[in-house]
Amino acid sequence: MEYDVTPEALDALIGRHDYFYQRVPLPHGREIKGKDREPLMKKVFPADFKGKSVMDVGCSLGYYLFVAEQRGAGRCIGLERSASAFEHVTDIRDTLGSKVEFHKRELGDWDEPVDYLIGFNVLHHVTDPLRMLHRMVELTKHTLLLEYVTPLNGKYKRLFNVTDAMMNQPLIAVGGLHKPDGILTFAFTPAAMMKILRQHIGVEGDIQQGVSPELDRRWLVWHRP
Ligand SMILES: C[S@@+](CC[C@H](N)C(=O)[O-])C[C@H]1O[C@@H](n2cnc3c(N)ncnc32)[C@H](O)[C@@H]1O
């Protein structure tokens, strides 16, 4: 990443928190260690975001927004409901001198549409994923980018003997409450996701789906016509 920051400031940033989830590559060969999200980014991100607005719902440590900013995006907005992730991502932003806006909140009644809306691995964390999906579609002016859990996830696979062939059926799997923060888990087959978008939400235009680099997940890209 091309931010103007000293190696010393980055080393202090790296040592300041126990980071969780995303790997964030930093200048001077530094990084925040975590899950490498670059393979998905390479599959679904455009080469440049030239002046476009980008919002990432459930942005974690902001990896995707920092990449979008570096690729010329205009306003970049991250929504994150976890207090610790929010504290960490704002520290990363401030240290880098990035202009990405972060808000400690859920999507809820957010009412400013954006060109690109990112919702990676967040639908399975909310109690009403269909409502969130509706809202994401409404707020997308140009492109919606999703990554979501399918029932091929080990938990469901064990319970229901889920097979690849079932991904062609419109199924939703519903998990229980997870500690510590009461997360309800939903998993969608690609066929279910397509049916919800086309028939329930009434989405028109191009929808592409593919197998994610992340085990048992799918990515989806919708371009508003
Ligand atoms: C599994 S992580 C995915 C992070 C990132 N989107 C990615 O795919 O690399 C889910 C993140 O979304 C956040 N989150 C979950 N539900 C949310 C909601 N309703 N609004 C905002 N953030 C949410 C969690 O705190 C967590 O940081």
Q: Is residue 209 part of a domain?
A: yes
- CB of 161 closer than 8 Å to CB of 148: no
Residue bearing the CA closest to ligand 1, atom 4:
60
Q: Is residue 30 part of a domain?
A: no
pLDDT, position 175? 80
Q: Looking at the predicted structure, is the pLDDT value of residue 155 above 80?
A: no
The DSSP 8-state label assigned to residue 22 in this structure reads B
Residue 170 sits at φ, ψ, to 5 deg, of -80, 85
Cβ of 125 closer than 6 Å to ligand 1, yes or no, is: yes
| Residues 143-171 as b or e (16 or more Cβ within 10 Å = b) | bbbbbbbbbbbebbbeeeebeeebbeeeb
CATH number, domain with residue 78: 3.40.50.150
| Cα(185) to centroid(ligand 1), Å | 12
| pLDDT mean over 20-44 | 97
Place of tokens 């907005």: 77
Q: Is residue 114 part of a domain?
A: yes
Q: Is residue 40 part of a domain?
A: yes
Nearest-angstrom CA–CA distance, 51 and 63: 18
Cβ of 73 closer than 6 Å to ligand 1, yes or no, is: no
Q: Is residue 1 part of a domain?
A: no
Q: Is residue 27 part of a domain?
A: no
Q: Looking at the predicted structure, is the pLDDT value of residue 177 above 60?
A: yes
Cβ of 120 closer than 6 Å to ligand 1, yes or no, is: yes
Q: Looking at the predicted structure, is the pLDDT value of residue 142 above 50?
A: yes
Give the sheet arrangement for strand 207-211, strand by strand. Answer: 101-103, 76-79, 54-57, 114-120, 140-149, 217-223, 207-211
Cβ of 19 closer than 6 Å to ligand 1, yes or no, is: no
Q: Looking at the predicted structure, is the pLDDT value of residue 133 above 70?
A: yes
| pLDDT mean over 14-38 | 97
If pLDDT is split at 50, 70 and 90, which confidence band does 1 have? low
| Cα(68) to centroid(ligand 1), Å | 18
| Cα(22) to centroid(ligand 1), Å | 11
pLDDT, position 221? 98
Q: Looking at the predicted structure, is the pLDDT value of residue 85 above 90?
A: yes
Ligand 1 nearest atom to the CA of residue 82, by list position = 25
- Ligand 1 pocket test, pick from 35, 44, 60 with the greatest ligand atom count within 8 Å of Cβ, gives 60
Query: Per the structure, how many domains does the chain have?
Result: 1
Nearest-angstrom CA–CA distance, 60 and 92: 11
Q: Which domain holds residue 156?
A: 7-22+35-223
Cβ of 79 closer than 6 Å to ligand 1, yes or no, is: yes
| Cα(199) to centroid(ligand 1), Å | 26
**Residues above pLDDT 70, as percent of the chain:** 96
Q: Looking at the predicted structure, is the pLDDT value of residue 181 above 50?
A: no
Q: Is residue 166 part of a domain?
A: yes
| pLDDT mean over 4-21 | 97
Residue 205 Ramachandran class (φ > 0 left, ψ -120 to 50 alpha, else beta): left
